[in-house]
Amino acid sequence: MKLSVLSILALPLLALAEIPPPKAPVTLNITALTAEKGQSTLECWSLERTFDVSDEPGTKGAAILPLDGLMGDAKYSVLPPKFDGGLHNAPTVQWVVFVSGLAHITLPNRTEEAWVRGGVNGAIIAADTADVSEKGHSTVYPSNVQTVSWQIPLRDGVLPKHRVLHRGACKQDEGWN
């Protein structure tokens, strides 16, 4: 069988035609530190707000998730390697976005735990404030590098609309769907 030059040049194009486009996220699943009966607990939430398609310069056409209800008192934290944050409550209802490093969150009266790696899927909601949780949670940063995070309070402590997927932290592959 003889192939023409045109046929040979077309073969790579046929291969490309069968590659499906990347799946755009629909919504964000996120680990939430909440409280039940005065004790902190971990849940995996699916936010009700869905991703939009950006029309902003620089991100036009990309998936974006508007984060409603944020306050202006965000903090940027740099935690040293092997830092122990101890037992504490969330100071306010807030997003905590780990940009780098590793956080290990445990609960004093439960076996649930969360390992949160900075970067993709590095965001959590911390809502186990002192008015709803007696003891709070412990956070240790066990890696050999600094952990960098943003703490972004939610206005009036209002949580984003969500549904609970399951008890415990979201798993690595549950970041978005």
Query: For the segment 4-54, what is each residue's pLDDT rounded down to a tens digit?
Result: 554 555 555 545 555 555 566 788 899 999 999 999 999 999 999 888 899
Q: Sign of dihedral through CA atoms 150, 164, 106, 86?
A: positive
Cross-strand bridge partners of residue 50 = 27
Number of domains into which the chain is organized: 1
Would you say residue 80 lies in a domain? yes
Distance CA 83, CA 81 (A): 5
* AA letter at 149: S
Mean predicted confidence (pLDDT) in 64-82: 89
Would you say residue 22 lies in a domain? no
Residue 140 token pair = 């240790």
Would you say residue 52 lies in a domain? yes
pTM (two decimals):
0.82
Would you say residue 9 lies in a domain? no
Cross-strand bridge partners of residue 153 = 94
Would you say residue 167 lies in a domain? yes
Would you say residue 2 lies in a domain? no
Would you say residue 158 lies in a domain? yes
Query: For residue 56, how far is the Cα from the chain centroid?
Result: 23
Q: pLDDT tens for residues 95-121?
A: 999 999 999 999 998 999 999 999 988
Would you say residue 177 lies in a domain? no
Q: What is the pLDDT of residue 116?
A: 95
Q: pLDDT tens for residues 138-173?
A: 999 999 999 999 999 999 999 999 999 999 999 877
Distance CA 100, CA 15 (A): 37
Distance CA 152, CA 96 (A): 6
Say which CATH number the domain at 85 has.
2.60.120.10
Domain range enclosing 151? 27-171
